[in-house]
Amino acid sequence: MSFTRLKLSRRKFLAASGVTLAAASMAGGLSSIKAVANDEAKGKLGELGRKFVPSSCAMCVNKCGLIAEVVNGKIRKLNPNPKFFKSRAMLCARGNAGVEEPYNPDRLKAPLLRVGKRGEGQFKEISWDEAFKIVAKNLDEIKRKYENRSAVAFYSTEGFQEEFFHFLVQSYGSANTVRHPTLCLSSVIQGWSSVFGTYPDADLTQAEFVIMLGANRGEALVTPDSIDFQKNRPKGQKIVYLDPRFTVTASKADKWYPVKPGTDLAFILAVTNVIVEEGLYDKEFVDKFTFGFDKLKEHIKPYTPEWAEKECEISASEIRWTAHEFAKYAPRSLVYPGRRTSWYVNDVYLRRACAILTAIVGSFDVPGGIVPKSSIPLAKHDPIFPFFDMSKGRLDVSFKGIKELLPEDERTAAGLPTDSCTFLGEKDGSWLAFREAALRGEPYPIKAIIAYKQNLVESAPNREKTLKLFEQMDFICTIEIQMSETAWYSDLVLPESTYLERWDPCHSLSGIWPIVTFRQPVIEPLFNTKSMHEIAAGIVNEMLKIPSLWDDADSADVEDFKATLVEEILNKPTEEFVKYQLSKYPGAFDQIKKEGVFYLSDKPVYGKMRKEGTRFKTKSGKIELYNLKYEEKGLDPLPVYRRPSQPEPGKYRFILGRHAWNTHAGTQNNEYLHMIQKENSLWINTKEAIRLGIKSGDYVKVKSKVGEQIVKAYVTEKIRPDCVFYAHGFGRISKGLSLVYKKGASQAAILEDKIEPISGNAAMHETFVEIKKA
């Protein structure tokens, strides 16, 4: 299937477009054009005319290709890039709303230094020179005072410029970077990798039978899957969807099972049981590629559909039907891996079970199955960093106290580690384990936080604890485009240029349709802002002026560092960085500048691992149904079902979910998106609401062990009676977010900080709440 043939006629037009066409369209007889033209005249002085500039979106993580229409130096509109086949040439609500980001009245416009107490919001504008000096001075003071560079924690979230942020981290020498995956998808990566040695994609364009567990692709947009889910859905494809909520995905699915929250594993094990017991698996594939089928065969015996029915509240006959259909359509049947899986403390075992079920029917690396990602290799910069003596190892790796972040139930009595997380990413760490260790100062104190784009206060469970952590800090610095809560509580706020005002490095987006994307400035920066690249350069150049920052490193190393990082990368324009990344491919830089994308082929890649002699990245080198490393580490080598804790009578489980109108806590303060969703509301089942005397629109108090929030109720049949839900990103406490300050309710305020201890992911569906009329 080819996706690039779309809309070629428009591409032709774009190539020919110019100012004359703008004039032509005004002759079209629409007086609205006049007013539009007036608005656009307010753009940056000096630049006249109309142009179309390709770049990519940053309103969520998908990085879809866009083409900006710029008139007289002002962005008029962001349109989808018809050549960007990964997102099937679309731009969603957020992508379109991005047009406001540079012009948002709440933008940070200059570096800000706190003058009042932390959290009071009193700042004064300072110059970039002063700002860089303040950061360098604080880094030096902490290094001298605590004799440990790792006392500074560097928080970031994924994005094109995160690489420069990490160059800054390595220039200082802290081991403590805390990234977003353990608030999101680390358990699904761990679970699938523990079976296949890789976290694969799902080919929804050719699958005939799909099981989706809570992966709400109709609302939580992931490209290309969300698009393929409807636009390219093959005729006759069946989707079975498990979710305690009736979401958009449920409305499009062939079967919606309102699964009892936390019991999806029972369902998957029972489907596996039927397929194994009835011999419906792919014997040839199992023999050739997998390890541990005999053990699985024994292990799966007790997990019958009749047993599962009592756990997950999906009937045994439906489970059998699912198993039979799943096997019938294999290898064009799959369990969809999903993305945000920070659900339960044993989430990794659920993901393992999903991978195992897909493996035994042989739906691997074939059209319509699960397919390992392909990518387009880019030239990688390899700067030299000094080795600093005063740098201790990661805090959360040596921390032994995660037990308090686990519930007291049968899942932690066996099967899960209770001292420290089993597998932590070197750069990711575990968000919750890290905060717990930092709060206790174990095994060493954390005294400063530098945050890039990550809103620690609003994005992680148990907001009180994050604010408590902030109290322990000598210095907090945030790099942002708006006054997030984290910026609000910072000592120094550095304003970044928005994604439409800067160059960004290329990213090779891996997947079934690998593609390279990048960013170039659509307009020049409107205010006194800089890119993360320029900020890193500014800070490092100031650091180099302070001798005590380099006295625990070898001086020859420092010279190499200056030559390879500072001169070669930091002090050069980002454009040069991009050119080097694409240097393997003649003409690629010009192509990406002109077309916004670079790719080797627009055809999907199948079958590269389904070959004789393939060694999978597992201990046995095979697809591990039975995991040898887990056995070694005292974990369950095959997924064991253990019942999750249940809410006491009168309480409800609080569940999470994403939707297409906002990204996490990052986009609510945008007027276009605000017009769609002004605040969130609590979904509560009709029967429960009647019992509590609550009507839609009533304000209710939602109270958990760690906090309470007041929010409007939405009484609906679309949710099970035993759980409640509201969307993320509201109930904000930064006065700098004028549209959403104190509007609706915050998740961070009420979620308990429970941990999934194998991958270190947060377990965000383990909070129970009381609901009362407010």
Partner 1 sequence: MNEKRYAIVLDTKKCINCKACTVACRAENHVPHEEGAYRIWVTALELQGKFPDLHQDYEPSQCQHCQNTPCESVCPTRATYKSPEGVVLVDYDKCILCKACMTACPYNARFVHEHHKAIDKCTFCYHRLPEGREPACVETCPTKVRVFGDLNDPNSQVSKLLDTNRYYRLKEDRNTNPRLYYIIK
Give the CA distances from residue 5 to residues 9, 62, 468, in Å, rounded to whole numbers and listed in that order.
9, 21, 54
Is the Cβ of residue 426 or residue 717 nearer to partner 1 in the bound state? Answer: 717
CB 79 to partner 1: min, Å: 6
Is the Cβ of residue 52 or residue 344 nearer to partner 1 in the bound state? Answer: 52
Phi, psi of 3 (to 5 degrees): -110, 0
User: From CA 528, how far away is CA 109, in angstroms rounded?
Assistant: 6
> Residue 96 interacts with partner 1 (CB under 8 A)?
yes
User: From CA 72, how far away is CA 43, in angstroms rounded?
Assistant: 6
User: What one-letter code names the amino acid at 399?
Assistant: F
> Residue 83 interacts with partner 1 (CB under 8 A)?
no
User: From CA 333, how far away is CA 361, in angstroms rounded?
Assistant: 8
Stretch of 174-182, 207-215, 281-289, 665-673 lying at the interface with partner 1 (CB under 8 A): 665-673
> Residue 279 interacts with partner 1 (CB under 8 A)?
no
User: From CA 323, how far away is CA 564, in angstroms rounded?
Assistant: 56
Is the Cβ of residue 98 or residue 744 nearer to partner 1 in the bound state? Answer: 98
Residue from the set 384, 660, 706, 710 that interacts with partner 1 by CB under 8 A: 660
CB 33 to partner 1: min, Å: 6
Residues touching partner 1, count (CB under 8 A): 63
CB 3 to partner 1: min, Å: 12
The footprint of partner 1 on residues 679-738 (CB under 8 A) is 685-686, 716-721
> Residue 25 interacts with partner 1 (CB under 8 A)?
yes
Report whether 608 contacts 365 (CB < 8 A): yes
- Give the start-end residues of each E strand in 121-272: 123-125, 152-156, 177-178, 201-202, 209-213, 238-242, 255-257
Asked if the peptide bond before residue 649 counts as cis, ω within 30 degrees of 0, the response is: no
Helix or strand or coil: residue 724? Answer: strand
CB 207 to partner 1: min, Å: 17
Is the Cβ of residue 28 or residue 649 nearer to partner 1 in the bound state? Answer: 28
Stretch of 174-182, 242-250, 325-333, 706-714 lying at the interface with partner 1 (CB under 8 A): 242-250
Residue from the set 43, 80, 200, 461 that interacts with partner 1 by CB under 8 A: 80
Quote the tokens at residue 576: 């040069």
> Residue 35 interacts with partner 1 (CB under 8 A)?
yes
Nearest to 757 by CA among 342, 346, 176, 193: 346
Helical ranges in 278-375 per DSSP H? 283-289, 293-299, 305-312, 316-329, 347-360
CB 65 to partner 1: min, Å: 12
> Residue 675 interacts with partner 1 (CB under 8 A)?
yes
Is the Cβ of residue 134 or residue 220 nearer to partner 1 in the bound state? Answer: 220
> Residue 8 interacts with partner 1 (CB under 8 A)?
no
> Residue 15 interacts with partner 1 (CB under 8 A)?
no
Report whether 94 contacts 219 (CB < 8 A): no
User: From CA 212, how far away is CA 250, in angstroms rounded?
Assistant: 10
Quote the tokens at residue 488: 């609000």
CB 455 to partner 1: min, Å: 23
CB 95 to partner 1: min, Å: 7
User: From CA 231, how far away is CA 88, in angstroms rounded?
Assistant: 9
> Residue 318 interacts with partner 1 (CB under 8 A)?
no
CB 185 to partner 1: min, Å: 21
The residue ranges that bind partner 1 (CB under 8 A) are 9-10, 13, 17, 21, 24-26, 28-33, 35-36, 39, 77-80, 87-88, 90-97, 99, 218-219, 221, 226-227, 229-231, 246, 248, 250-252, 256, 258, 660-661, 671-676, 685-686, 716-721
